[in-house]
Structure 1
C-alpha cells in the first residue's frame, strides 16, 4: 500500500480513494466485487503463504475466474534495475489483440521497454499477422521500444532466464494451459527471486 500511494502521489493528479471492508470468504467476496471492477489488485502472498516467491491460493483462484483483469503484485524491490521490461505473452486466439493492447498501455504508463513473447514454433501465417500488428503499434507508439521474442523453450524457461529484467508479465486468461500453471508451482519457481508481477486479462466477452 505504501508503494502504491507513493506512485499515485508522484502523478500529482487528484485521485479519489475509497476504503471498504468486506466480510465473507475471500475468494467468493473478491469474485463478487470483480463483477463491477475495472481491475482487481492482489498481493502475491497471503497471510498463510510466507514461502518466498509462492503465490497464495486466493490470488490464484481469483486470477483464474474473475470477470475483470487481475494483477498479482509481488513485493517491490527498490534496488532492481530501472529499465526492466514489460513482457506480453500473445497467442493465436480471440483475446490476443486485447492482451497486446493492454500490455502496451501498461508499458507506456511505466515508460518501460516491451518484449512481445510468441510461441517457439508459430505457423508462418500467424507470425506474419503478428508482425503486421506490431508494426501498427510501433507506428502508434513511437516512444516505446517494442521487440518480438520467441520463447524457444517455453514461457517458464524464459521467465527463469530473464526474470531480473522484467517488471510485469501480461497474459490472457485463455492462454494455452490456462492460468493455473502460471500462478502455481511452475510460475512460482520461474519468478521466485524476482518482483515481476502478473497481469491476467479477462476474455473480451467476459460478463
Structure 2
C-alpha cells in the first residue's frame, strides 16, 4: 500500500468503464511528463455487500469460486488498462506501470494511496454512473477526501477538436486553497508548454454589484491577481500567463473558459470553505459540469 512507497507517482483507479479508460490514458501521459511511476488500482467488490440490499438472494447465488472468478476478471481488466496506458504514449518505456488489486470499496484504498501519491486520477463516473448528472461515488469521494491533487477525467470526446496548444485554466480567489491550485496549474502548464489563463472574478454574484464603481474595482482586482501570480511567474519564467478579471459568477466564467481549454485547475475549497470536510461550492459545481479534465488541488 501507500506506506510501502515513499513516492507513488501517479495513481489511477481502474474499473473498465469508458471514463476509466480515458483516465488511464490521461494518467499515463501525466506520468510520462513527470518521469513518474504509474500505478493502476482496481477494487474487487465484496459479495457480502448484497446482504445490505432488501432483495432475497438464493443461498447458491454466489459460485463456489467467486473470488477466483473475480480475480481472473480483474487480471484481464488490469491487463487491458496497461495496454491502454502503453498505447497513450509514443514510447511506453518512458514510464513504469504497476498493478494493484484490492478488496472492498474503491474509495478507501485510493484515499490511502493519495497520502504518498503525486496525483490520483479517476474517471468522472464508473460503471453504473448516471450520465450527465452526478459524479460517480469514487470520484466524488476522492475530491472530498484525498490527500493530494485529484484529476477527474471525462471521456476524451470533448478534447478531440481542441487545439494542441489550448491553455490550462486556473481559478483564483485569494484563499490558501486557490494558492495551491496556482502552484499545480503552473506546474501543469510548464510541463505541457502551454499558456496559463488565470481567472479572478471580483464578486460571487453580479446582482450585488454597483456598476458605477466598476473601473476602480477592476483596477484593484487586476492588482490583486498580479500579486497572487508574481512569485509563481518568477519560479516558472517559461509559462506565458494571461490574466482575466471579470465581474461575474466564477462558475459561469470557469465553464466558459473551459470551452477553449484542455485542462482546468480549481482549489478544493474557496473563501470560507471548511478545510478537509467539504468541497467548495465553485469547485463542486465546476467538477460536476465541466467536460474537460479538471484537477482539484487537494493537499494534506
Query: TM class, shorter-chain normalised?
Result: 0.7 to 0.9
> Which of 189, 200, 204 lines up with 2:296 in the alignment?
200
1:46 counterpart = 2:126: yes
Task: Compute the displacement of 1:174 (Å).
Answer: 2.7
Contact conserved, 1:60 with 1:183, CA < 8 A, in 2? no
Matched residue, 1:25: 105
CA 1:161–1:125: 2 relative to 1, 3 Å: closer
Which of 113, 126, 134 is the equivalent residue of 2:195?
113
SS in 1 for 2:181: helix
Greater CA deviation, 63-72 or 132-141?
132-141
User: Are 1:179 and 2:279 counterparts?
Assistant: yes
Q: Which moved more, 1:23-32 or 1:91-100?
A: 91-100
Query: What aligned pairs does 1:148-187 form with structure 2 within 5 A after superposition?
Result: 148-176=243-271, 179=279, 181=281, 184=284, 186-187=285-286
**Larger helix proportion, structure 1 or 2?**
2
Task: State the Cα deviation string for residues 32-68 of structure 1 (Å, max 9, x = none).
Answer: 2222222111011211215137421220121111111
Q: Secondary structure at the match of 2:152?
A: strand
Whether contact under 8 Å (1:55, 1:183) holds in the other structure is no
Root-mean-square deviation (CA, aligned residues, Å) is: 3.0
Shift of 1:172: 1.8
The structural deviation recorded for 1:108 is: 1.4
Secondary structure class of the residue paired with 1:112: coil
Deviations 1:14-34 (A, max 9, x none): 311101111111222221222
Aligned to 1:141: 236
User: Structure 1 59/126 Cα, relative in aligned 2: closer, same or farther at 3 Å?
Assistant: same
Partner deviation per Cα, 1:75-124 (whole Å, 9 max, x = no partner):
22322222322111122223443321210110111222111111324898
| Contact kept in structure 1, 2:266 and 2:283, CA below 8 Å | no
Match of residue 16 from structure 1: 96
Question: Following the alignment from structure 1 to structure 2, what is the Cα–Cα distance between the partners of residues 7 and 98?
Answer: 32
1:68 aligned to 2:148?
Answer: yes
Change in Cα spacing, 1:56 to 1:181, as seen in structure 2 (3 Å) is farther
**Which structure carries more relative contact order (alpha carbon 8 Å, separation 6+)?**
1
134-143 vs 160-169, which moves further: 134-143
Determine whether 1:92 maps to 2:188.
no
Larger Rg: 2
